[in-house]
Chains A and B, each alone.
Chain A
Amino acid sequence: MSSLLRFSGMANPFLRKLTYGADLTAEDRDLLLEVSSNCRAVPARTDLISEGEEPEDVHLVMSGYACRYKILPDGRRQIMAIFVPGDLCDLHVQILGQMDHSIGTLSEATVVDIPPSAMERLLANPRINRGLWWMTLVDEGTLREWLVDMGQRGADEQMAHVFCELHLRLRSVGLAEGDSFDLPGTQEDLADLMGITAVHVNRTLAVLRERGLIALSGGRLVIPDVARLRAYGGFDPNYLHLRDGKAHGRSIREAPVEQ
């Protein structure tokens, strides 16, 4: 399938995401579509880049899920970030000489490897440069929120919070139709993401399901009442900064912020 057709125009999640953080011209959009046109399919559970490697290309997720993780010598793993379509995994790597963590896919994914020459073109454009800064700052805000999740929220609140975040991030790039999306990986992946055991993940999923906050079918999660799940998880989307999409007066219909 031609990735150019599949991810053309606003179906391109990278372009779609950047419109929240930058006021893009038609030429900027063409440039973003051009640098994100060369997709490749990556199987699930495959490293895009591993700890210790010297990075060259920046990785952009166009479909599926990837994550940022670190493994301890005895095999324990912590997932520090999830990447959904439209996310750049490692914008910073061209400045840092060596990877201090790994980035790998959780599901089958479509990825673009953006070479340094293309990154230079993006960074030389002041509007896109601002958008990339915005992306980096949102990533930091998300990491702060996950720290709050891990340090202060109970597992049921934390799981609700993570699901609300994924839902909104996917919605903001035109995915998660019907308030439903694939779980990002297995129960073990969720456990490593939340910093709890897989048994406790199973238990917590069952608790949320029994309370009618989520429904699960296969690996797919359905949120019957988004506002209710948000209230349960104490989810405030402020840290995703999706309202900054003042660009060209576009309404952010896909990212409703219910107060």
Chain B
Amino acid sequence: MTASATRRFFFDTCANGILTSDANGLLLPDPEAARLEAVKALPHMAMDAAAASPSHEFAVVVRDSDGTLILRAELSIRSAWLKGA
């Protein structure tokens, strides 16, 4: 069902300054698959965040099994009142 899993990648996430480190990781075929997983996770993280604050910052940092940081993916949400509103 899944492609042949060859390497473990770890995905530390950060939502509005709160870091959650990944102790489990995921087995994925290559770094591009890891990049896709990181990018796809961001909108889900954004949906879970409370809408109370005017801006939100989300990031996923991908580590390989040696601990080398290989990728950072980010998503920002900003809202600001316009004049006359």
* A-to-B contact residues, CB < 8 Å: 45, 71, 75, 77, 154-156, 187-188, 196-200, 202-203, 205-207, 210
Contact = CB atoms under 8 A, between A and B. Distances in A.
Closest 5 CB pairs of A and B: A199-B41, A154-B48, A200-B44, A199-B11, A203-B13
A187 B22 contact: no
Nearest to A156: B48
B7 interface: no
Nearest to A199: B41
Interface residues of B, number: 20
B20 A203 contact: yes
A199 B1 contact: no
Contacts, number: 51
A156 B13 CA distance: 15
A188 B2 contact: yes
Interface of B: 1-2, 11, 13, 20-26, 37-38, 40-41, 44-45, 47-48, 60
A206 B1 contact: no
Given A203-B45, A205-B24, 4 more contacts: A71-B1, A199-B22, A199-B26, A199-B37
7 contacts: A71-B1, A77-B1, A199-B22, A199-B40, A199-B41, A203-B45, A207-B20
Decide if the interface of chain B is mainly helix, strand, loop or mixed.
mixed
A207 to B, nearest CB: 6
Contact of A155 (B1, B11, B22, B44): B44
A203 B2 CA distance: 21
A45 B47 CA distance: 31
Given A75-B1, A154-B48, A155-B48, A200 B41 contact: yes
A70 to B, nearest CB: 13
A206 B41 contact: no
B22 A206 contact: yes
Contacts of A77: 1
B13 A45 contact: no
B1 A203 contact: no
B1 A198 contact: no
Nearest to A205: B24
Contact of A196 (B1, B13, B21, B44): B44
A28 B69 CA distance: 62
Given A154-B48, A156-B48, A187-B24, A202 B1 contact: no
A177 B26 CA distance: 30
B47 A154 contact: yes
A197 B37 contact: yes
A202 B26 contact: yes
Contact of B40 (A197, A202, A206): A197
A146 to B, nearest CB: 17
B68 to A, nearest CB: 18
Nearest to B13: A203
B45 A200 contact: yes
